[in-house]
């Protein structure tokens, strides 16, 4: 996930890239969007 100089590896599937960063970004964004839609639903109910 990190290079030797403590920078995050770029997205991709090759040996020097990582797909883990994309997975974390997708998971966090889906959780945030779920809570936003729940708040919108509670406000307009």
Residue environment code for 4-26, b if the CB has 16+ CB neighbours within 10 A, otherwise e: eeeeeeeeeeeeeebeebeeeee
Q: What pLDDT is recorded for position 29? A: 92
Distance CA 45, CA 42 (A): 5
Domain containing 22 equals 1-45
Q: What pLDDT is recorded for position 22? A: 72
Q: What is the pLDDT along the chain (45 residues), one digit of tens a residue?
A: 566 666 766 655 555 556 666 777 888 899 999 999 999 999 998
Number of domains in the chain: 1
């Amino acid at each position: 996930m990190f290079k030797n100089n403590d920078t995050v590896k770029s997205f991709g599937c090759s040996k020097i890239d990582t797909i883990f960063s994309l997975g974390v970004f997708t998971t966090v964004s889906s959780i945030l969007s779920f809570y936003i839609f729940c708040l919108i639903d509670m406000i307009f109910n």
